[in-house]
Structure 1
C-alpha cells in the first residue's frame, strides 16, 4: 500500500505527521511518501521519503497512491486518485474565523471554483466532533463522509508521557526549569503584506511584555506560517519559535497561551494551559476582514483583552483567571472539542481502514 502525505503544502507537521507516525509504529508493509517543499526539507526526519511538491514526480506519487492524507487544499498540478483510493482531508483545525464558502468575499470566483473542485475529491473529512464537524462540512460545502475522530495532532497533549515530553521540549528550547513561559501564536490578516520583513510580532510588543512580566518569564512568538517575516525577537527573554516543526510541542512547553482568532484556541482549550485572547483589532477583523463563527464576548474559553496593558494584567494573575473561566471553558470544550482525549489517531485509522 502507498500512502502520500501533504501537510501545509510541503512541511512535516500536523495531523498527517501524527497519522504517519502511528502507521510507522504499527510496522505494516506501507510505502510512505511525503510531498516536500525544498524550503522545509530540514524539518523532515532522517529516513522519511520525500517527493518535491509541485513537480511531475509529485503527480506520479499521487496518481499511484492508495491513500492521500492531507491537512489543507492541495497546491499541486492536476492529479488523479486511483480507483479505490481514499483522499483523507484532516484539515488543520476548527476555524474561529470564517473560511472557504463562508469567506467568499476573500476569493475570486475562479479561486472558489478551484477550491470547490478540490473539496469534491475528498473521500472523507476529519472533524473534531460536536458542533465543529458540522461547521467544517457546511463551510466547505462538503456533502461526503465526515469522521468524528478529533485531531490526531493533539493526541500528544493528552498522552500519559506529556510531562516527560514537556521537559524534553523545554530543554531543547533552552528554557530553564523554573522559568514561566508565555506562548503567543496569532493568526494572519488578509490585508497585511505577509512577506514584509518588518520584524513585526502580530500586534504584540513581545519585548515590552517580557520586561513587564519580569525576570523568570520567557515569551515565545510563533507567527502564522503564511507570514514569512521573522518575529524580530531582539530581547534576551523573547524567542522566535516560528521554525519549530510542531506547535503541539510548544503548547506542552508553555505555562500560558495567548492567541487572537487562531484555530489553536480549540486545540488548547481541552488542556489545562491558561488561554487568553489578545483581540487588539477585533472589530476590524470581525466586521471587515473575515467575521467569526462565535461571539467571543459570550463564548470565549478565556479572557478577551484589547490592549497590551490588559493582557499583562491577566498574565500577572493566572491562577485567579483560570478559576474564574473554568465553567465557560468546560462548556466550550463540550461544544467544540469533545474528542480531544488522546485517542483521535486510533479512531481515524479505525474509521478509514488505514
Structure 2
C-alpha cells in the first residue's frame, strides 16, 4: 500500500472517534469533490441510451447488475453498455470487451468519471464514490446486494467503527441515497428496511424481486452447469459440499493494510477433524475482507466471480449475519448459523431487524463442535413459509419486470 493510502487510512481511523470532526471533514471533502466533478464535466452531454454497470467496486461481474445486463444486451440493441472492473487483469475483461455494444473502464480512473458523467443510467449494487455528481437527466438504479438481517445505515443505533464515526456514517449514507432514483427490493419486509435505513421514499422502491436470483431459480436443476462448476473447482461429484459464507466485522480493520480482515474461525481442529474426506468445505469471505492465513481444509472461493454458482453446487450453507441465507433458502437446502460472537454483534456492533431466535430458516450455533454434528447430520427443512415472506417474487423473471419499470 502506498504511503498516501496508509496516511488516509490512519486519518480516517483517528477521526472515527470524534463525531463532530469526522462529520465536518466528510462534509467538506464530499461537497468539494462534487463541486470539482460538476465543474469538470458540466459540458459533457448525457447519452440517454448509455448504461454503466458496477458491482462491488469492479471486483465482480455478478449480482443484479449482471442479470439486468444479460436481459438488456439480448433485447435492446439500441443501447450501449459500460462495465466497471477493478483492473485490466480482471478475468472477465476480455470477454466483456468483446461483447456487442459493451466497453470496459477501470474503477476510479479518469475514464471511469467520464462514463458516469455521461451515462443516462447508473446501475450498481454498492455505494458509489461521493464525488460522482448526478445530473437531473441521469437515473441511478441501486440494486443493493441482499435482504438485510443486520441493521443498515440510519437504523444502526449501536456500534463503534474503525473508519467512521456514527455521525459520519449517517452522513455518508445520506449522500449516496440522495442520488437514488430507484431502489430494488425483493419483498415488503426489505422495502420497509431500505426506506428507513437509507431514508428514501416508498415511490423510489421497485418491489418486484431480485434479478440476482433469476439465474439461481433458472439453473436450479441444471446438472450440466453444476457439474462444470464442480469440475472448475476440482470437486468430485460424489462429495457433500459445505459453503461457509460469513459477513465482515466492523472492528476487524487493519490500518497498516487499509482493509478489513477475517480469519476463518472454523479452521480449527474441533471442527474440521469431525469430517472425513466425503465432505468438501468452501470459504467465501465478504468482499470487504482479506485473510493472510492458509487453509488446511477449506477451498477459498472468495474471489470466485458469481456466488450463485457456489450456491448451486452446495448441499449445505453455514453463515452468520450475512444476507446470503435469504437467497440460498430458495434452494430448500439445510442452513446453519454459526454465531460465536452473537452477544457482541447484537449489542455492540449492529443489531438485527429479525428476532433471530425465531425468524431464521435454520438453527443457531455458538459452539463449533455442536455445529459439526448438525452439518454431519445434514438435517434441514424446506423453507417454503420463509420464502413466502422474504422471497415472494422469485420466479426467474425479475430482471425483465424491473427493466420495464425504469427503462
The answer, yes or no, to whether TM exceeds 0.5 is: yes
Preserved contact between residue 64 and residue 81 of structure 1 (Cα < 8 Å)? no
Residue number among 57, 66, 74 corresponding to 1:17 in the alignment: 66
User: For residue 147 of structure 1, what is the aligned residue in structure 2?
Assistant: 206
CA distance in 1, matches of 2:172, 2:243: 35
By how many angstroms is 1:38 displaced? 2.1
By how many angstroms is 1:266 displaced? 0.8
Alignment of 1:126-205 (within 5 A): 126-143=184-201, 144-159=203-218, 162-193=222-253, 201-205=263-267
Residue number among 26, 30, 44 corresponding to 2:75 in the alignment: 26
1:74 aligns with 2:74: no
Task: Give the 3 Å change call, closer, same or farther, for CA 155–162 of structure 1 in structure 2.
Answer: farther
Alignment of 1:327-346 (within 5 A): 329-346=383-400
CA distance in 2, matches of 1:55, 1:45: 18
Residue number among 314, 320, 332 corresponding to 1:272 in the alignment: 332
Could you state the TM-score of these two structures normalised by the residue count of structure 1? Answer: 0.90
1:244 aligns with 2:304: yes
By how many angstroms is 1:332 displaced? 2.1
By how many angstroms is 1:64 displaced? 1.0
Q: Deviations over 1:192-220 (max 9, x none)?
A: 12659999643222675443121211000
Preserved contact between residue 90 and residue 125 of structure 1 (Cα < 8 Å)? yes
CA distance in 1, matches of 2:293, 2:136: 42
Preserved contact between residue 230 and residue 240 of structure 1 (Cα < 8 Å)? no
* Structure of larger gyration radius: 2
CA distance in 2, matches of 1:322, 1:203: 23
User: For residue 93 of structure 1, what is the aligned residue in structure 2?
Assistant: 146
CA distance in 1, matches of 2:89, 2:153: 26
By how many angstroms is 1:231 displaced? 5.9
User: For residue 56 of structure 2, what is the aligned residue in structure 1?
Assistant: 8
Q: Deviations over 1:99-139 (max 9, x none)?
A: 11112655432442232121011111000123112211211
User: For residue 314 of structure 1, what is the aligned residue in structure 2?
Assistant: 374
Preserved contact between residue 4 and residue 67 of structure 1 (Cα < 8 Å)? yes
By how many angstroms is 1:93 displaced? 0.5
The SS at the match of 1:213 is coil
CA distance in 2, matches of 1:257, 1:165: 19
| Gap regions ≥5 residues in structure 2 | 1-48, 98-102
By how many angstroms is 1:62 displaced? 1.0
CA distance in 2, matches of 1:18, 1:4: 14
By how many angstroms is 1:293 displaced? 0.6
Q: Deviations over 1:286-340 (max 9, x none)?
A: 011100111111111011111111111111111xx314xx4xx333222222122
What's the RMSD between the two structures over aligned residues?
2.3
User: For residue 16 of structure 2, what is the aligned residue in structure 1?
Assistant: none
The SS at the match of 2:192 is helix
Farther-moved stretch of structure 1 (280-289 vs 26-35): 26-35
CA distance in 1, matches of 2:260, 2:148: 27
Farther-moved stretch of structure 1 (271-280 vs 191-200): 191-200
Task: Give the 3 Å change call, closer, same or farther, for CA 231–340 of structure 1 in structure 2.
Answer: farther
Q: Deviations over 1:80-111 (max 9, x none)?
A: 3351x221100000111111111265543244
The SS at the match of 2:280 is strand
By how many angstroms is 1:10 displaced? 1.6
User: For residue 124 of structure 1, what is the aligned residue in structure 2?
Assistant: 182
CA distance in 2, matches of 1:245, 1:42: 9
Preserved contact between residue 142 and residue 183 of structure 2 (Cα < 8 Å)? yes
User: For residue 228 of structure 1, what is the aligned residue in structure 2?
Assistant: 290
Preserved contact between residue 22 and residue 345 of structure 1 (Cα < 8 Å)? yes
Preserved contact between residue 319 and residue 325 of structure 2 (Cα < 8 Å)? yes
Task: Give the 3 Å change call, closer, same or farther, for CA 9–47 of structure 1 in structure 2.
Answer: closer
